[in-house]
Each structure stands twice: as structure tokens, then as C-alpha cells.
Amino acid sequence: MKPDLFEAPDYYQLDDLLTEEHKMIRDAARAWVKRDVSPIIEQAAQEAKFPKSIIPGLAAIGAFGPYIPEEYGGAGLDQISYGLIMQEIERGDSGVRSTASVQSSLVMYPIWKYGSEEHRKKFLPKLASGEFMGSFGLTEPDHGSNPGGMVTHYKDAGDGEHVILNGAKLWISNSPFCDVAVVWAKNEEGRIHGIIVERGMEGFSTPETHNKWSLRASATGELIFQDVKVPKSNILPGRSGLGAPLSCLDSARFGIAWGAIGAAMDCYDTALRYAKERIQFGKPIAAFQLQQKKLAEMITEITKAQLLAWRLGVLREEGNATSAQISMAKRNNVDMAINIAREARQILGGMGITGEYSIMRHMMNLESVITYEGTHDIHLLITGLDITGENAFK
Ligand code: TGC
Ligand code: FAD
């Protein structure tokens, strides 16, 4: 793969909206990606292996629990810092950002928000340092966009101390190597609860899903529960119902809205540099109007997405961002990124399909990003419901 020469576009001087601390955090994450992710990520993706060697680095840049309070091992940062870290990581690879998203927003967040003080003390510091890796089990083989229909369930074991968990979760990021899984399952009354399942519990297995063309540097798998005896004390006491996992998704979707900008920036920057250097018909291809149209539209769309993400960060920090606003940003920014990846790949001609450049990898990764955490269609329907009051899901 070519050396990482990335220079971040900032067409509307959005750095002026950031504090010195934001810029410091962002720059540290950017430097780490350049030094520790870019040199290894292409091979990891080609070999379809999650590069475990980057776990300590992710922890060191604050990617595991950026906004979780420091008393629990988190970085205690604000929402814009969290967004900037996700942007920089996804500039390197969406699969690496996935690992960080799941750990932070889908594992640490529910334990912090809905766990007991004992859960927080037991799990959060180890998750923040990367000593423990986590996964989040919501999706099932027959329930993806409609998680409320889940069939994974638990019942009282009759010994006063345990429940017996049965069911299966599919498409679970980090599952093959997770130490703990936050699993969403129905109790005997059909009410959804979060339950912490720990590796080593009998009847719990995590087979890997192979043959992915997308997110190859992220490990995806199943969570299978066959009469798993889980202590009742592992049930998250703070909230039940579908709103509990969906609120975790709000946090992760916010991170994706920022992350997708990183992937788009990398594709744009690569295509711009290539277009200035590649000569055809005696001129750099950047001198042809058709290529300028592509590049000019890319920087316009990136700038709009940056503004959307920044404003959403401010609203979220104030506690005023709605779930529907988060959906709009996730949907828009991922769509923006995938379109830019497709256009940028064309600017590189044949070279664009090789692993010499990052664009094709981003493009393939973004096919997962546009599907997970709510599909492109689902987020449109969330906006539709929000503005019309009419539910078109069912
Ligand atoms: P609905 O009746 O609308 O809602 C049920 C309850 O939930 C509440 N609620 C929310 N609460 C917090 N945050 C949100 N975003 C919420 N959205 C809804 C709602 O108020 C209600 O509460 P209550 O008290 O009245 O019960 O539910 P529904 O069954 O009609 O479904 C709505 C729908 C389709 C929008 C939702 O289910 C959905 O978002 N589906 C998409 C599923 C999804 O995003 N799955 C993601 C799985 S995790 C993942 O993909 C990780 S990838 C990670 C990585 O690698 O980066
Ligand atoms: P389906 O729900 O079957 O949807 C298929 C198609 O139908 C889509 O185009 C969808 O938009 C459309 N559709 C569905 N319902 C409607 C409707 N009401 N109106 C109109 N169109 C509709 N899940 C987890 O729980 N944890 C994870 O860590 C996780 N990681 C993932 C990693 C990867 C790489 C991938 C690919 C997925 C991951 N997921 C995870 C699952 C992901 O969230 C689901 O794939 C996603 O929610 C869509 O569900 P589905 O694949 O079952 O598609």
C-alpha cells in the first residue's frame, strides 16, 4: 500500500469551531492512525483478520469510552471529541471504528447507564483499557430491522440465583474474541432486558462469520446461547424495553455520522492527489472538467456533512439531540461517504480497484456501514415518522 500522505480537508475553516483540546485529541488520533493503522490495515483486510495488535493503541487515544467518566476508566471527554476520534479512526478503516463503536457505545454505554455500580466497577475499567473486549447482541437471524420481535429469552433457573438463557444473535461485531457480551433478551413476561454474558459460561459460543466482502478487518460472528446459566446479578437493572438498546444505538449512530466523514475525507484526499499527478492526453486529469466536477461535489458534500455532525455534537452535548436528528445525520453522512468512495475510485481508474490505495476498501466497508445500526431505509422512515407523525414501518 502507498504511504499515508493524508491531509484533512477543511474547506469552511471548521477548525475554528473546535477548542484547542478538541484539536489536540483529534490530532493525536490522526497521528496514531497514520503510524499504527495505515501500515497494517490493507493486509489485515486482505487476510480478513482483525488486527488485535491495535487494541492498546485504541485504548491510548481514548477510543474505548471517550465520554465515559474517568472514575470508570473512560476518557471523560465531550461529544465532539468522541465524534472527532471516530472520524479519525474511520479515516483509517471503518472496521477499526466498528470495534471502537461497539466497545464504547454498545457495551460500555449500557453498562454505565443501565448497569449497577458493581457492574460499572467490575467491567468499565477493563473495557476502557482494552483488557476486556465486548460485543452487543441485538440482531437475530429472523429479526434485523425489527429487533422488537426477538426470540432470545431467559427464564428463572429455580435456584434463586440464575436465569437460563436461550437463543442466537447474528452479525455481531467483535463476537469471535469478545470477553463479555451485552445481550438483549426477553424475560418470561416478554419484556426486553440487557444481560451481561461472559466468555466461559457453559453453553455460550461465538462462531465467526466468514466470506465477507466488507469490513474484512473487523471480526463478525454469532452469539449462541444453549441453556446458558447466567447469574441474575448480570441483568442490567437500570432500564428495560426496546428503548434501552435503541438508546445505545443513538450513541453509536452519532459516532458513525462522524466516522463516515473520515472515510469520505480519505477517499477525497487520495483522489485529489492522484488527479493532480496522473497525466493523460498531456495534462493532469485534474485539469479536465469531468474530474473537477467529481472533486468539487465531493468537497461540497464533505463540508455539508461536517457541519451537520458538528451541530449534532453541540446538540448532543447539551442533551438536546433527538433520535430522529441522529438518524438523519447517520443516513446522510454514510450515503455521502459511499457515493464519494464510488466516485473517487473512478478517478483512480484501474489503480482504484487495487489495495495500493484505500478507496476500494472504504467503498466495500461502507456497504456494511450503510446497513448496520439501522439501514438507509430505516433511517429514512424514522425521519418520515418524525415529520409526518405517520408510522410507515408496520
Ligand atoms: P418503537 O415502538 O418505535 O419503539 C420502542 C420503544 O423504544 C423507544 N425508542 C427509542 N428509545 C431510545 N432511542 C431511540 N432511538 C428510540 N427509538 C425508539 C420508543 O419510544 C419506544 O419506547 P416505549 O417506552 O414506548 O416502549 O419500536 P419499533 O419496534 O416500531 O422499531 C422502531 C425502529 C424500526 C426504528 C427500530 O427498531 C430500529 O431502529 N431498527 C433498526 C435496528 C438497528 O438499528 N439495529 C442495529 C443493531 S446493532 C448494530 O448494527 C451494531 S453495528 C456496530 C458496528 O460494528 O459499528
Ligand atoms: P433486514 O431487516 O432483513 O432488511 C432487509 C432489507 O429490507 C433492507 O434493505 C431494509 O432496509 C428493508 N426493510 C426492513 N424493514 C423495512 C420496512 N419496515 N420498510 C421498508 N424497508 C424495510 N447487529 C448487532 O446487534 N450487533 C452488532 O455488533 C452488529 N454488527 C454488524 C456488523 C456487520 C458487518 C453487519 C453487516 C451487521 C451488523 N449487525 C449487528 C446487524 C445489523 O444491525 C443488521 O444487519 C441491520 O439492522 C439490518 O438487519 P438485516 O440484515 O436483518 O436486514
Secondary structure of residue 279 in the 3-state scheme: strand
Residues 161/231, Cβ–Cβ less than 8 Å? yes
Number of H helices, E strands in the chain: 12, 9
Fold annotation for 134-234: Butyryl-CoA Dehydrogenase, subunit A; domain 2 (2.40.110)
34 Cα to the center of ligand 1, angstroms: 35
Cα–Cα distances in angstroms (integers) from residue 266 to residues 144, 315, 345, in the given order:
30, 26, 12
Cα 361 from Cα 6, distance rounded (Å): 16
Q: What is the pLDDT of residues 151-182, one digit of tens each?
A: 999 999 999 999 999 999 999 999 999 999 99
Q: Among 136, 183, 242, which residue has the most ligand 1 atoms within 8 Å of its CB, making it the best to mutate? A: 242
Q: Concatenated DSSP letters for 64-92?
A: SSTTS-GGGTS----HHHHHHHHHHHHHH
Does residue 237 have its Cβ closer than 6 Å to ligand 1?
no
Torsion angle of C-alpha atoms 87, 88, 90, 91, degrees rounded to 10: 110
Which atom from ligand 2 is nearest to the alpha carbon of 373? 43
pLDDT tens per residue across all 394 residues of the chain: 789 999 999 999 999 999 999 999 999 999 999 999 999 999 999 999 999 999 999 999 999 999 999 999 999 999 999 999 999 999 999 999 999 999 999 999 999 999 999 999 999 999 999 999 999 999 999 999 999 999 999 999 999 999 999 999 999 999 999 999 999 999 999 999 999 999 999 999 999 999 999 999 999 999 999 999 999 999 999 999 999 999 999 999 999 999 999 999 999 999 999 999 999 999 999 999 999 999 999 999 999 999 999 999 999 999 999 999 999 999 999 999 999 999 999 999 999 999 999 999 999 999 999 999 999 999 999 999 999 999 999 9
Does residue 136 have its Cβ closer than 6 Å to ligand 2?
yes
Taking phi over 0 as left and psi of -120 to 50 as alpha, with beta for the rest, 200 belongs to left
| Predicted structure pTM score | 0.98
Does residue 101 have its Cβ closer than 6 Å to ligand 1?
yes
Catalytic annotation on 373? yes
Cα 387 from Cα 370, distance rounded (Å): 22
Cell numbers linked to 115: 448497569
- Residue nearest atom 8 of ligand 1, based on CA coordinates: 243
243-388 homologous superfamily:
Butyryl-CoA Dehydrogenase, subunit A, domain 3 (1.20.140.10)
Residues 45/95, Cβ–Cβ less than 8 Å? yes
**What count of Cα atoms within 13 Å lies in the side-chain half-sphere of residue 33?**
30
Considering the domain 14-129 in this protein, what is its CATH number? 1.10.540.10
Cell numbers linked to 376: 438507509
Domain boundaries, the chain: 14-129, 134-234, 243-388
Does residue 8 have its Cβ closer than 6 Å to ligand 1?
no
Does residue 375 have its Cβ closer than 6 Å to ligand 2?
yes
